[in-house]
Amino acid sequence: MASVDHLLGLSRSADWAIDGITGQESCESPDGISDVQVSGDARSSGDFNAVPGHMFENVNMQIFSCQSGKCGQTPMRGFVKDYATVSHSVDEAANVMKCCGRGRLPVLTRACSAVCGLRSLVFL
């Protein structure tokens, strides 16, 4: 299963100035010691062995870094932590920060840009 972020996260360009990510974003790692940087090395398949969570607790963890309430000082930094709980794999959790690099999906990028007129995507 691929998300909009996974497929189009790094598609921002001079030709398509969407409100997307820059590639400098990062999330806290499950161990809390280091950060996991956004990268453009997503594979065409096999990055996700579990479906990222969409329940309230998952979304709250992704946004606020805790399962209930507003715990984290910096929003949108809990995606890796949440995926670690869903996938039961700390090693696999970093894959949630992988996107298809610029130019890897030209037909999809052009279709979204031209046909849909998509100018603003919700990203990290």
Q: Residue 10: which domain range?
A: 4-114
Q: What is the count of structural domains for the chain? A: 1
What is the model's pLDDT at position 116?
A: 60
In a domain, 120, yes or no: no
Residue 73 CA: distances (Å) to CA of 8, 10, 66, 95: 27, 25, 11, 24
For 23-53, what is each residue's pLDDT tens digit?
899 999 998 889 999 999 998 788 888 888 8
The overall average pLDDT reported for the chain is 82
Alpha helices by DSSP H, listed for the chain, are 4-8, 56-64, 79-87, 90-93, 106-114
In a domain, 121, yes or no: no
The answer on pLDDT for 122 being more than 80 is: no
What is the model's pLDDT at position 118?
A: 53
